[in-house]
Structure 1
Amino acid sequence: MSKIQLRQVYRDQLYNYRPTWILRWGITIFFVFLLLVISVSGFIRYPDIVPATVEITTINPPANLISKVNGKIEIIFTEEGESITKGQVLAILESPAQWKDMKILDHYITVLENTIGKDSLSVIPEPDFLRNDLELGEVQGRYADLKLNYTELYNFLHSGLFEEEVLSLQEKKQAQKQLLVQENRKRELLKTQIRLADKEYQRDSILFVKEVISESEIEQRHQNRLQFQSSLVDMEVNILNIKSSLKQLRSDLKKIELKHNTDRQELTNKLLQSTHLLKAQTETWKQNYLITTPIDGKVSFTTYWSKNQNVKSGELIFSVVPIDSMTTKARLQFPIQNSGKIKEGQQVNIKLQNYPYQEFGMLVGHLSKISEVPNELLYSADVVLDKGLITSYGKRLPKVQQLKGDAEILTDDLSLLMRFFNPLRAIFDHRLRKHNQ
C-alpha cells in the first residue's frame, strides 16, 4: 500500500470515528432541550387581540348658552365663576320690549290663568288693571287682543242685563204664583156656593111639587145653579192659563240662563285662547332675548363679558359648568368574527385619534356589558375606564363632548403549546370525521 493510500485510510478512520459517549450525550441533550422547549411553551401564555372601534362621550357636559338673534347685550346679571341655579336669567339682549314690562305681563298672564282655572271670573278686576303704557315690542299685538277680550268678558259679567232680566221674570213668576193661590181659593168658595145652590134647588123642587112656590121661583133657583157652574168653568180656564204662564216663565228663565252661560263660556274661551297665544309669544321672546341657564352650576364667560357688546345669532355667549362632576362613558363596537372569545371583565386598551398613543399613552378599561344581538354585523359593549381619562403614561386628558379611537380587546390567555396543537387537533378531527363518513 502506498503512503498516499495509507494517509487516506488514516484520514477516513479519523473522520468516521464516532465515540459512543458523544452520541449518548448528544441525544440526551437534544431530548432535554426539546422537553424544555415544550415545558416553556406550556407556561408562556398571551391573549388574542380583537380589534374594535370606540366612542367616548361626556355625561352631564357643560351647558352652552347660544344667542338666537343678532343684537347687543343690554344687561348682564352675573359674574365669572358665580354659582347659578336652573332657570336663572344671566343676561338680556337688546329688544324693542322692556324687560320690566315683560315681567308685568308675566304677572298678568299668571293672574288670568289662575282666575280662569279657578272659575273666579265674578271677582276679576276692572280692565284698567291691564296697563296701556307697557312697551312690549313684537308682543304688543297679542297683548291688545287680550285686553279686548278681557274687556268684553268684564262688560258682559258686570253689565247687569242678565240679572235684570232674571229679576223681572222671577217677579212675574212670583205674581203668577200668588194669583194662582187666590184663584184656587176662589174656586173652593165657588164650589161651596154650588153645593149650597144645589141643596136650595132640591128643597125648592119639593116645594114646587107641593105647589108652595111658583114655577118662576124654581126656574130662578135653577138659573142660579147654572151661573155658579159657568163661573166655575171660567175659573178653571183662568187657573189653567195661570199655570201655563208659570210654565212659560220657567222656560224663559232657563233659556236666559242657558244663553247667558253659553255667551259667558264663549267669551271665557276667547280670553283663555288669547292668554295662551300671548303666553306662547312671550315664551318665544324669552327664548330669543333672555339668556337663561338650563342647569345648576357655575357660569363661565367666553367671548362676551360686558354690556353693549354685539352678538350674532348662533354664537356662544356663556357656558355653565354643572355642579355635579362630569363622568365619561365609553362604548365600543366589534365584528362578529372572534366575538365568541369576548367576555365581560376582559381588558380593553383604547388608542384615541385625538391623542397619539405613542405620545400620550392609552386608556385602559374593562368590558362591563355586551349586547346579546349584533346590529349590522357588529356587537356593542360598554367599557368602564379603570382610571377615567388618565392614560397609561399618567397623563390626564381633558373632558370633551366626544372622543373616538381604536380599541384592542384582550381575550383569555392561551399558551404557545395549545396554539401549536390546536391546528393539529383541528386537522386530525377533520380527517377523522371524513374517514367515518
Structure 2
Amino acid sequence: MQETKQDWQYAPRSQDMEEIINRPPSWITLYGTIFMVVCIFGLALISYLYEYPDTVTGDLVLTTIDPPRPLEAPDDFPIARLLVAHEDSVRAREVLMVARSLATFDDVFELSERLSSNQDQSDAGLSNFFIPPNWNLGEIQEAVYELQEKQEMYRNLRDRRLDGLTTRELESRITRQERFIREQRQLQSRLEDRLVRNRAKLEQEEQLNTDGVDNRSGLITARRNVERTEDELNASRSEVRAASFDIELMRNQIDSYRGGLPSSLNQAGEDLRNAYDGLKAAVAGWENNYTITSPVDGLVLLQRDIRPGRTLLRGTSIGMVLPANAGGIIGRIDLPNKGSGAVAVGQRVLVRFDSYPYLEYGSVEGEVISIGRLPTGGITTVEVTFPNELNTTTGNHLEPGPLMEGEASIITESRSLLQRFFKRW
C-alpha cells in the first residue's frame, strides 16, 4: 500500500536523528551564549557612553549690551522734512524729522535755542526777551502773543510810560492805533488772497515733480513765495495784536485817571514769569508733537520707505538708532516660562540664525550670562554672550546684523541613555 504524505510527515524518526535534534552541539550553546553576552554588554556600554542633552528652546534676537533704540511714530505723523539720512551719525535729542505744521521748524528751533540759553531770568530780563515778529510760529503763536502782552504790561508799569500823557493825548494815540489796525486788516486780506494763490501754485509744482517733471527751479520759487507771504502775514498779525494791546493799555490808563485804580508792578512781574513758562511749555509740546528726535548718540538706520511727504500712522516703525558705545554683542532670548526653571547661568547655548541656513553655516555656541527675574506675559528674558564671537561649529564666521534673529537651544543637562532608563525605573 502506497504511503500518503501525512503518513510520511509523522513517521517515527531514528534514534540518531532524535538525538541530533534534541541535543544541539555544545559549541553552539557556548559561543551563542558568549555572543549574546557580548551584544548585551556592547549595548549597555553604548547606552552609557552615548549622551544627548535636555534643551529648552526659545527665539533669540542679536543685540548689544546697550541695545538699539527703536524709532516709532508717536502719533499720525505726516513727514514734512527729513533732516538725516540712512546711516548718519546723530546726537542725543537731535531732530531727525519734522511733521507738517503751521509753524516753520527753523523759527521754532531758534526760539527753543534762545529759551534754553537765556540766562537772565529776572523780571527785567524776561521783559526784554525778544522774539522777531516775522517768525512763523504757528501753533505756539498764541503763547508768544501772551508773553509779549505781559512784557509790554510790565515795561509800561516799570517805566510809567503813560503817566505823563493826558487823557486827550491818550485818546489821540488810540485813534491812530485803530486807524493803523484797519490798514493792517486790509493788508492781511490781500496777503491771504495772495497766499491762497501761492499755495495753489506750489501744489501744482509739487504734483509736476511727483509726475517726474524736472521743475526744480519752479518748485523752489513756489516754496519761497509761500514762505515769504506767510512771513508777511504773520508779521502783520503780530503788529495788529501789539497795536490792540497798546490800545488796551491806554484805555486802562484813562480808566485809572478816572477811577484812581493803582497798578501793581509785582503782579505784572508774576504774570510775566507765568507767560514765559507757558511759552516754554508750548515749545516743548510742539517739539513732542511735530518732531522725532534721537534718544541717544549713535548711528541712525531708517526704513527704506521713509521720505518727505509720507504720512506715518501711529506706531509705524521708522528705524532704529545704534548707540555709539553699545558694548559687546549679546543675544536676548524670549523663553516661555514652561521649563525655564531648569535654565542656569553658565549653561551652553546653540544658536541657529535665520539668515544663515544651519545645514550650510552651522550653529553658534554661546553661554547664558543672566536670567530675568520678573517674567512678563509668560516670557522670561535670558541673556547670552558669545565667547568665540559668531564663529560657527563648522568653522564659518557670521557677520552680525542689527536685531538678527534665530532659534536658541539652551542645554540644561546631558545624560546617557542608560541613566535615562534607570531614572524611569
TM-score category, normalised to shorter length = 0.5 to 0.7
**Structure 1 residue 143: Cα displacement:** 0.8
- Partner of residue 179, structure 1: none
Q: Are 2:68 and 1:61 aligned?
A: yes
- Partner of residue 108, structure 2: 102
Q: Deviations over 1:91-138 (max 9, x none)?
A: 555544344543553365357x6333xxx43566658x5543433222
> How large is the RMSD of aligned CA atoms in angstroms?
4.7
**Structure 1 residue 271: Cα displacement:** 1.3
Q: Are 2:91 and 1:85 aligned?
A: yes
State the SS of the aligned residue for 1:70. Answer: strand
Would you say the 8 A contact 1:52–1:332 is kept in 2? no
Q: Write out aligned runs for 1:307-386 (5 A).
A: 309-314=308-313, 320-325=321-326, 327-333=329-335, 339=341, 342-350=343-351, 362-370=363-371, 381-385=382-386
Q: Classify 1:268/1:312 alpha carbon distance in 2 versus 1 (closer, same or farther; 3 Å).
A: same
Q: Deviations over 1:223-251 (max 9, x none)?
A: xxxxxxxxxxxxxxxxxxxxxxxxxxxxx
- Partner of residue 281, structure 1: 282
Counterpart residue identity of residue 346, structure 1:
Q
- Quote the Cα distance in structure 2 between the aligned partners of 1:39 and 1:45: 8
Q: Write out aligned runs for 1:394-405 (5 A).
A: 394=396, 396=398, 399-401=401-403, 403=405, 405=407
Q: Deviations over 1:245-303 (max 9, x none)?
A: xxxxxxxxxxxxxxx9x944432221122112211222233344455433323455655
Counterpart residue identity of residue 120, structure 2:
T
**Structure 1 residue 354: Cα displacement:** 8.2
When normalised by structure 2's length, the TM-score is: 0.56
- Quote the Cα distance in structure 2 between the aligned partners of 1:380 and 1:62: 18
Counterpart residue identity of residue 311, structure 2:
K
State the SS of the aligned residue for 1:274. Answer: helix
Q: Classify 1:122/1:161 alpha carbon distance in 2 versus 1 (closer, same or farther; 3 Å).
A: farther
- Quote the Cα distance in structure 2 between the aligned partners of 1:376 and 1:135: 48
- Quote the Cα distance in structure 1 between the aligned partners of 2:345 and 2:50: 20
Counterpart residue identity of residue 309, structure 2:
N
Counterpart residue identity of residue 149, structure 2:
L
Structure 2 spans left out of the alignment, 5+ residues? 1-7, 164-261
Number of corresponding residues: 312
- Partner of residue 137, structure 2: 136
Counterpart residue identity of residue 70, structure 1:
P
- Quote the Cα distance in structure 1 between the aligned partners of 2:108 and 2:377: 53
- Quote the Cα distance in structure 2 between the aligned partners of 1:318 and 1:37: 57
State the SS of the aligned residue for 1:115. Answer: coil
- Quote the Cα distance in structure 2 between the aligned partners of 1:305 and 1:376: 32
Q: Classify 1:141/1:45 alpha carbon distance in 2 versus 1 (closer, same or farther; 3 Å).
A: same
- Partner of residue 296, structure 1: 297
Between Structure 1 and Structure 2, whose CA radius of gyration is higher? 1
State the SS of the aligned residue for 2:140. Answer: helix
Q: Are 2:11 and 1:12 aligned?
A: no
Q: Classify 1:414/1:49 alpha carbon distance in 2 versus 1 (closer, same or farther; 3 Å).
A: closer
Would you say the 8 A contact 1:68–1:288 is kept in 2? no
Q: Classify 1:338/1:47 alpha carbon distance in 2 versus 1 (closer, same or farther; 3 Å).
A: farther
- Partner of residue 222, structure 1: none
Counterpart residue identity of residue 281, structure 1:
A
- Quote the Cα distance in structure 2 between the aligned partners of 1:377 and 1:70: 37
Counterpart residue identity of residue 16, structure 2:
Y
- Quote the Cα distance in structure 2 between the aligned partners of 1:318 and 1:415: 48
When normalised by structure 1's length, the TM-score is: 0.54
- Percent identity of equivalent pairs: 21
Counterpart residue identity of residue 160, structure 2:
S
Q: Classify 1:58/1:266 alpha carbon distance in 2 versus 1 (closer, same or farther; 3 Å).
A: farther
Would you say the 8 A contact 2:126–2:276 is kept in 1? no
**Structure 1 residue 411: Cα displacement:** 3.5
**Structure 1 residue 149: Cα displacement:** 0.7
**Structure 1 residue 87: Cα displacement:** 3.2
Q: Classify 1:421/1:154 alpha carbon distance in 2 versus 1 (closer, same or farther; 3 Å).
A: same
Q: Which has the higher helix share?
A: 1
Would you say the 8 A contact 2:353–2:404 is kept in 1? no
